[in-house]
């Protein structure tokens, strides 16, 4: 198979971790007889520095023409000035919207080898296996916003809007995923307060009742969900929710396995190229030191092969290689618990070797 991938290394540790994922993809291509063409483009703070735009047209064009996009991370203190004309995050929101990536899949699974890295007790987290499906192109992230004068200074607002169609398509995608897993779907909302949530509840229930009656379905309020995630994470299979709730809950959930450094994510939806990235950010504090954990990005590359090219075997080969490396005791600093650790490039070496 031939495929074109766009790599967007981005800022901070982004270039270091994407470089390791690229090596792994090259090794997979060789092992399975594929040709992966990978070209790098600017996005985020580096793109602001180069041309004043966090998502240059040239980058977006290249993404549209590719099979899939692998992103490192964007942002950093250099571009954090609240009065700046634009921000790296604007590029990320724009690419999600432009590519129609309405569903963000964030699997949260504990690794038996790393259970002691979890801030929670082993008996609570062991065996956790949740797939979060976060709505990604709607809600308060993209609603009307503004400021106006107020007696006390200013007043600011952001509007949360959802349509029937936006809810249906993401719930459907989550329900399909649940069918392929343990058959359980949880929808998270704040229907006791928000009108947008009441529409979510109504539409989601209708989709499940008419199209997925085989699923075990329940709804949970977002505040209760925040609590259940750390008290009984094993109770959940697929969790679907709106954009902002999903943003917050997936950061919370990413701590269950002990490190953000192992959590990949896939943004898909429109049938065009998907966007694959680690959940963690650009970690500017450790950028350029060759200590970042490349595994989340490597696992995102596995998701890219699975969801964009249906290369299930190849995806599993990468995941198995990561498993072997962790089982062999290889650790980067974030998961070493103060013990000996490998550099970013050494971890990449180990995964490439484990693929062979």
152 Cβ neighbours under 8 A, 6+ residues apart? none
By CB under 5 A, tell whether 247 contacts Mn ion.
Answer: yes
Smaller CB separation from Mn ion, 247 or 319: 247
Smaller CB separation from Mn ion, 94 or 181: 94
- Please count the other Cβ atoms lying within 10 Å of the Cβ belonging to residue 64: 13
With beta carbons less than 8 A apart as the criterion, state whether 184 and 215 touch.
Answer: yes
Identify what 60 binds: Mn ion, ligand IPM, none; CB under 5 to 8 Å per kind. Answer: none
DSSP for 47-88, written as a single string: HHHHHS-SS-HHHHHHHHTSSEEEEEE---GGG--TTSS--H
Q: 4, 251, 341, 349: which one is catalytic?
A: 251
Minimum distance of ligand IPM from residue 150's CB (angstroms)? 27
Among 4, 40, 89, 129, binds ligand IPM (CB under 6 A): 89
Minimum distance of ligand IPM from residue 197's CB (angstroms)? 19
Minimum distance of ligand IPM from residue 281's CB (angstroms)? 7
By CB under 5 A, tell whether 89 contacts Mn ion.
Answer: no
Read off φ and ψ for residue 185, nearest 5 degrees: -130, 130
Minimum distance of ligand IPM from residue 247's CB (angstroms)? 5
With beta carbons less than 8 A apart as the criterion, state whether 344 and 16 touch.
Answer: yes
By CB under 6 A, tell whether 92 contacts ligand IPM.
Answer: yes
Minimum distance of Mn ion from residue 329's CB (angstroms)? 31
By CB under 6 A, tell whether 275 contacts ligand IPM.
Answer: no
Is 190 a catalytic site residue?
yes
Number of residues that bind ligand IPM (CB under 6 A): 3
By CB under 6 A, tell whether 349 contacts ligand IPM.
Answer: no
**DSSP code of 239?**
E
* Residue 240, strand partner residues: 133, 187
Is 217 a catalytic site residue?
no
Applying CB under 5 A, which part among 197-205, 244-252, 294-302, 306-314 lies near Mn ion?
A: 244-252
Q: In whole angstroms, how far apart are CA 44 and each of 90, 173, 197?
A: 8, 29, 32
Is 307 a catalytic site residue?
no
By CB under 6 A, tell whether 13 contacts ligand IPM.
Answer: no
Query: Would you call 39 helix, strand, or coil by DSSP?
Result: strand
**DSSP code of 100?**
T
Q: Give, for 297, the enclosing helix (H) or strand (E).
A: helix 295-309
Which residues here bind ligand IPM, judged by CB under 6 A? 89, 92, 247
- Which are the catalytic amino acids? 141, 190, 223, 247, 251
């Amino acid at each position: 198979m031939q495929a074109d991938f766009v790599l967007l290394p981005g800022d901070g540790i982004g270039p270091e971790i994407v470089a390791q994922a690229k090596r792994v993809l090259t090794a997979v291509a060789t092992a399975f007889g594929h040709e992966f063409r990978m070209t790098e483009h600017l996005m985020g703070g580096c793109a602001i520095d180069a041309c004043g735009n966090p998502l240059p047209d040239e980058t977006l064009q290249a993404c549209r023409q590719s099979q899939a996009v692998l992103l490192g991370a964007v942002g950093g203190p250099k571009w954090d000035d609240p009065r700046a004309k634009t921000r790296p995050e604007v590029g990320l929101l724009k690419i999600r919207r432009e590519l129609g990536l309405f569903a963000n899949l964030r699997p949260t699974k504990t690794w038996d080898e790393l259970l002691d890295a979890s801030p929670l007790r082993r008996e609570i987290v062991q065996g956790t296996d949740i797939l979060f499906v976060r709505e990604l192109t709607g809600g308060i992230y993209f609603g009307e916003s503004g400021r106006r004068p107020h007696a006390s200074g200013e007043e600011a607002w952001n509007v949360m809007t959802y349509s029937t169609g936006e809810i249906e398509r993401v719930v459907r995608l989550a329900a399909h995923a649940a069918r392929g897993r343990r058959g359980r779907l949880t929808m998270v909302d704040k229907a006791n307060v928000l009108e947008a949530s009441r529409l979510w509840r109504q539409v989601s229930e209708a989709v499940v009742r008419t199209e997925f009656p085989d699923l075990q379905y329940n709804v949970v309020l977002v505040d209760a969900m925040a609590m259940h995630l750390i008290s009984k994470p094993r109770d959940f299979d697929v969790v679907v929710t709106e954009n902002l709730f999903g943003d917050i809950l997936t950061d919370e959930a990413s701590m269950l396995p002990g490190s953000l450094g192992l959590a990949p994510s896939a943004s898909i939806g429109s049938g065009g190229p998907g966007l694959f990235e680690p959940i963690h950010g650009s970690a500017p504090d450790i950028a350029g030191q060759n200590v970042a954990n490349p595994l989340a990005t490597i696992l995102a590359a596995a998701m890219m092969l699975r969801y964009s090219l249906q290369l299930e075997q190849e995806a599993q080969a990468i995941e198995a290689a990561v498993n072997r490396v962790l089982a062999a005791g290889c650790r980067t600093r974030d998961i070493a618990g103060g013990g000996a650790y490998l550099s970013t490039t050494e971890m990449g070496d180990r995964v490439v070797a484990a693929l062979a």
